[in-house]
Amino acid sequence: MPKSKKEDEGKSKRRARGEGSVVQHADGRWVARVPLGKGKRKEEYYKTKQEAERAKRRMLNERDAGKLVTEQEQTFKDYLAYWLNAHRTTVRKTTYIMYSKYLETRIIPVLVHVGLRKLTLEMFQSLYQKWEQEKLSPNTIRLIHGIISEALNDAVKWKKLAYNPAQNVKLPKPRKTKIYVLSDEEIERLLQCAQEMHLHALFRMALLLGMRAGELLALRWSDINFKKRALTIQRTVSYVNDPAIGHYDFHVGPPKTEAGERTIHLPLDIVDVLLEHREKQTQMRVSSPHWKDQDLVFCTRFGNYLTPASVRVFFDRLLKAAGLEHMKFHALRHNASRILRQLKIDPVVRMEMLGHTSLDMTDGTYGHATRDMHKEAAEEINRLFGEEK
């Protein structure tokens, strides 16, 4: 069958401008290249040679039809800025700020000029190894990798990449954070010393109810029903460096998960401590001409939000007064889980009190035992087999 004049002209143009090529990149990927004239060319990267061959034919057809997109390749920095902006309204503000912080400080300065399609597994692998040598926490490295992977997976979905170049990077093993598990005697000593402090109620609620710091600092008097002896957790507050305003600010929002929004029934001991705390706060409010009434249970002497840093200062003083070694404030939440388990509280009740989404989190991540509990286990085994002497 004779070829049409149009087909002959198309082939002539292709021969004049170049038919393109498929070559293998140093990182193992296959590159489809199509010349655009004047020394310029368009490239796309793929996992297999077959995919690259198909891409080359498609690009040649698009080029000859005048439909091939030939703009300059997007840099990784520009793509991340675009990706962050696209996620601004889809994630919590604190999550967005955390994404921005790590990308701006850890990724962009290193890969600022690298084209999106020029990224390789080796680039990320060497970067993570450098961080390990700098003693960056394995958990932090895994967190940053998670952000990068999410961004690159979206690039694949949006047809900007053929595949995620960071998907097969070898990551450091996660490190389980060591939690200071208090003995019964240490708990009693800690609570005794806390009675002398302004934030007595806060420390007591953290240790006995397992409330998070952000939940306690966002708690309002209107959240507490003294008649029903219950409080409702419906918000949390964070103090973060917001790039949009260029300084630290408080951000109030709902708990991270639905399980975080919960009602906790209060023991009489906590009710009494809260009533005493409210009375002292009333006296402070009356004597302060600059009081800003935000209905906060725990606040500064002017009624404003407390920063996590100030709570840590008071907590460190409490630990020193009780003669206990340094621990993070969050360790109180872990110890609360242990106390509730020791009291034989139903696992589902413990899970809901702590605001967990699964029992595995409650009894796995937050499951801790003291030396006394291990000794009791050994004694039970002795009694069972009649070996106790």
pLDDT tens-digit readout, 102-122: 999 999 999 988 999 889 999
What's the Cα-to-Cα distance from 116 to each of 159, 164, 265, 361, rounded to whole Å?
Answer: 12, 10, 53, 38
pLDDT for 36 equals 83
pLDDT for 382 equals 59
pLDDT for 79 equals 94
For residue 28, what are its two tokens? 């193992």
The CA R_g of the chain, rounded to the nearest whole Å, is: 30
Q: Fold identical between 76-157 and 184-375?
A: no
Query: Has domain 76-157 been given CATH number 1.10.150.130?
Result: yes
Gap between the Cα atoms of 7 and 1, Å rounded: 13
Which residues does the chain have with pLDDT short of 50?
Answer: 1, 10, 12-16, 388-389
pLDDT for 69 equals 57
H-type helices in 65-220, by residue range?
A: 76-87, 93-102, 108-111, 121-133, 138-157, 184-194, 200-209, 213-218
Q: Which of 227, 230, 205, 207 is nearest to 216 (CA)?
A: 205
pLDDT for 5 equals 54
Q: How many of the other CB atoms lie within 10 Å of CB of 4?
A: 9
pLDDT tens-digit readout, 248-272: 999 999 998 999 999 999 999 999 9
pLDDT for 389 equals 47
When the pLDDT of each residue in the chain is averaged and rounded to a whole number, the result is 88
Where exactly are the structural domains of the chain? 18-64, 76-157, 184-375
* pTM (predicted TM-score): 0.76
Query: Has domain 184-375 been given CATH number 1.10.443.10?
Result: yes
